[in-house]
Amino acid sequence: MAFSYLVSGATIYGLIGWGLDRWLGTKYLVVIGILLGVALAIYMTFGRFGGLRPRADKHSEGRRESELPREPE
């Protein structure tokens, strides 16, 4: 699913950039479109799949919260 976001984002925005290049007579909008499409696809992928998950602390790895050492009150 994440790979399809990347491919479709680059393709759709690349085609939009290509169309604008042909219409305006420029040669750089296709590159900007592809980069923008990939950036938006990465953003959507992080939003869809929850982004980066926090790493577990080495000391608490494999333990339940009730088994963790408590600080004195």
Question: What mean pLDDT comes out for the span 25-53?
Answer: 90
- Whether pTM > 0.75 for this model: the answer is no
Query: How far apart are alpha carbons 50 and 48 in whole angstroms?
Result: 6
Mean pLDDT (the chain) is 83
Q: What is the pLDDT of residues 44-58, one digit of tens each?
A: 888 888 877 766 655
**Do the Cβ atoms of 2 and 45 come closer than 8 Å?**
yes
pLDDT score, position 47:
86
pLDDT at 63 over 90: no
Question: What mean pLDDT comes out for the span 32-36?
Answer: 96
